[in-house]
Amino acid sequence: MPMPLTLIPPGQRKGNRYFLLRGTFRGRRVEVSTKSADISAARRFAEDYRDKLATSGVPEAADRVSFKRAVELYKAFRKPSRMDEQRLDHLVAAIGDRPVTELRHADLVEVANRLYGHCTPETRNRQAMRPAAAVLHYAAANDLCSYLRIPLFREKRPETRAVDLDTARALVKAAPKGAKRLLLLWLFRHGMRIGNTLRIRCEDIDLKRRIYRSHVSKTDRWIEHPLHEDVFLELANSKLLKDEGRLFPWRSRWAVYRWLKPIRKSLGIAFTPHMARHSLGRWLNEAGASLRTIMDTLGHADIHSSARYQSTDIEVIRATSAKIGALRAPFPARSRAKSKPTRSRRQAGA
């Protein structure tokens, strides 16, 4: 039968000189010297050692695990990005050591409103509700609490902000030759986010194979993509591609906005770099590309992320449906020759 952790006085176990802390904790046998013959020091050691055991290792299902501890376990498993870690740290500061078994949906709503009440529902979901749900669902999967369904704040329907091809051509034509024109071509033809585009390095581009590589931080892997013909020709006819270093000179999207704003103002159009990504998704959809192709081109892991960039155009549906074979034979053509009047019609005429 397991015995709780107790202090064994000196001389009572194999001639021990100091107090021993001995017993069973969470199924683990413990026997450690306190390195002290003073009972007060031994008790302080025992308390500290129990706290150390309680916060180390994987908790048992029967333990009262705090939200803070659940976040630590989730981080060790998921290895979240720096931005996601910041979101989790804000939640830990608000929820703290409350046991995960006691948390309810209303508690998460209260925390989200307290931290981000001045923000949109989309921000509250992104900053609080989704991270908290991920932690609690991971805790439930490890039997540390019961599964809790966590509805999100109602969000607005995502809007697809795209431009047509003529507008894109006008933007590219108005941009000065060199890095600025190349950036617009890259955004429109490859559909990358502006932050990822500015991190493209020259050594990740292979003109001979007409490919470029990009790093996916969530899965820690490299993916090869085809270089679009427009981008390839712009690179081949310029001196922008070096042996190493970043392809583009700007370190943030704000630096891009400074030179892009006068161009779009002169053309009288509304445009941001992210709209190029939306535009490519729309153009692929209009060209009849499959959703799988759109997902791979835009680098989406979730089919819903790709689907919301698309809009259902009646002519796209008509053209796609026309490619499917007919299900019935066409009606025979009607003869244009005048038919002879029947007997009943001759009698009626008489």
Q: Per-10-residue mean pLDDT for the chain, 350 residues long?
A: 76 83 71 88 86 67 79 89 92 94 96 95 95 95 91 82 91 94 94 90 93 74 88 90 91 93 94 89 79 71 56 58 66 58 53
CA 105 from centre of chain: 23
In a shared domain, residues 85 and 213: no
Q: Does one domain contain both 268 and 295?
A: yes
Question: What is the residue type of 169?
Answer: R
DSSP sequence for 333-350: PPP-SPPPPPHHHHHHH-
> Domain tally for the chain?
3
- The domain in which residue 97 lies consists of 67-141
What angle do helix axes 179-190 and 229-236 make, rounded to 10 degrees? Answer: 160
- Domain co-membership, 172 together with 266: yes
211 plus 175 within the same structural domain? yes
CATH classification of the domain holding 212: 1.10.443.10
Same domain, 43 and 92: no
In a domain, 160, yes or no: no
Based on the domain organization, do 259 and 299 belong to the same domain?
A: yes
Are residues 170 and 195 located together in one domain of the fold? yes
Same domain, 34 and 72: no
202 and 284 together in one domain: yes
Q: Is residue 284 part of a domain?
A: yes
Q: Is residue 336 part of a domain?
A: no
Do both 269 and 182 map to the same domain?
A: yes
Under a CB-based contact definition with an 8 Å cutoff, are residues 128 and 115 in contact? yes
Q: Report the C-alpha gap between 20 and 223 in whole angstroms.
A: 57
**Residue at 156 is within a domain:** no
Q: Are both 48 and 72 inside the same structural domain? A: no
pTM above 0.75, yes or no: no
pLDDT in the model for residue 49: 81
- Nearest-10 crossing angle of helices 165-174, 273-286: 140
- Residue 332 falls inside a structural domain: no
- For the four alpha carbons of 191, 193, 194 and 197, in that order, the dihedral sign comes to negative
Which amino acid appears at position 241 of this protein? L
Give whole-number Cα distances, 168 to 172, 187, 277, 309, in Å. Answer: 6, 10, 12, 17
Amino acid at position 45, single letter: F
Q: Is residue 329 part of a domain?
A: no
**Does residue 1 sit within a domain?**
no
Domain contains 266: yes
C-beta of residue 5 within 8 angstroms of C-beta of residue 48: no
Q: Are residues 245 and 306 in the same domain?
A: yes
Between CA 119 and CA 89, with CA 136 as vertex, the angle to 5 degrees is: 55
Q: Which residues of 100-119 are buried (b: 16+ CB within 10 A; e: fewer)?
A: beebeeeebbebbeebbeee
